[in-house]
Amino acid sequence: MSNISIYFNLGCQQPELEFVDVKLNQDNLLFIDPRLIEIQQDALSKKMQRRIEVFWAELIKAARINDIRRMEVILGGLKEPNETRLGYSSNKPHGNSVADKLKPKIIEAIRRNKAVRTGVLSHFSDVELFIEDVGSDRISDITTKIIKDVLIEFTQAQCLLHGIPMKKVNQDDIFDYTTVRWISKKVELPTHKGKPIIFVPKNIIRLEGVAGQNFRCFYRFAIREFISNDKDMLEDVSASGEDGKILLKDVKSAYPISKNSISNWMLKFGSMLVDFKSDILSDRIEPLNDGEIMIVIYNEHLRNAS
């Protein structure tokens, strides 16, 4: 196993590093979380958040006037980011295949989603709540491409700090938030076996499956706090409790988990998303600690078991 710290002989491990000390030859099942970027107060995260806000605002603006060509241009740089070595980078195919499949889905989901078009869903980080088949890996991939220029700057600063050599390499699909275009340019980056590496700050990553957990949590919150207390929504629910009492399981049976349903409920109940994020989600969002990261990148659980 060769992590960044080992390959470049840094003489330190994850607790002493600001970036994720990824394995360079294997998958690192860690994912960039835009929600974590939102809550950070450091200058680097604010630069990332600015790019995400511009990207999302321009995409929604194009959707509202039904400018599909413009949406395609804005989404044009969403090819697979392999430089960070996060997620499934070493096993999934390289190239444009995921982008080609994902872009039409995002465009269609945004165009027909009233919660997006009306501004109820105003944050990019909420895409996990309304676009089907978009989980931690896809959200991480998209976010990585949007903030790529900031990650490159971060990588360069860390290389100077640790004395890591860099080479001039060409990087495609860098999001220029000032022009809302994707550009290519030569930059200095560290390399491994001829391939560039981009470091990721350790305070903006999450584990696999968190997006799905957030959505299921939101669904349970919506059912418990809103659907179960709305007379109109309960009219067609079959009661299974004593004396005709409607139980929570009855409501869930009548309204099974669905991202489309969640979007419609957010239109009906204007405070639902805000309440969920302030009452529930805010307590669930926190960076991984070094120990949690080390389990993934150093296979610490295997070492401890041996």
Q: Rounded to an integer, what distance in angstroms lies between the CA atom of residue 284 and that of residue 214?
A: 9
Q: Which residue has the tokens 């989603």?
A: 113
| H or E element at residue 78 | none
Q: Rounded to an integer, what distance in angstroms lies between the CA atom of residue 65 and that of residue 61?
A: 7
Going by pLDDT thresholds of 50, 70 and 90, the confidence category of residue 1 is low
122-163 pLDDT, tens digit each: 788 888 887 777 777 888 989 999 999 999 999 999 999 999
146-157 pLDDT, tens digit each: 999 999 999 999
pTM metric for this prediction: 0.89
Angle value at C-alpha 223, between 220 and 225, nearest 5 degrees: 100
Q: Where are the alpha helices (DSSP H) in the chain?
A: 4-7, 34-39, 43-64, 68-74, 97-112, 114-117, 136-146, 148-162, 210-225, 231-234, 248-254, 259-268, 272-276, 282-284, 290-297, 300-305
Q: Rounded to an integer, what distance in angstroms lies between the CA atom of residue 218 and that of residue 278?
A: 12
Q: SS3 for 83? A: coil
40-78 pLDDT, tens digit each: 889 999 999 999 999 999 998 998 888 999 999 999 888
Q: Which residue has the tokens 């995409």?
A: 59
Going by pLDDT thresholds of 50, 70 and 90, the confidence category of residue 300 is low
**CB–CB of 164/8 below 8 Å?**
yes
> How is residue 213 written in tokens?
């957990």
246-297 pLDDT, tens digit each: 999 999 999 999 888 888 898 899 899 989 999 888 888 889 999 999 999 9
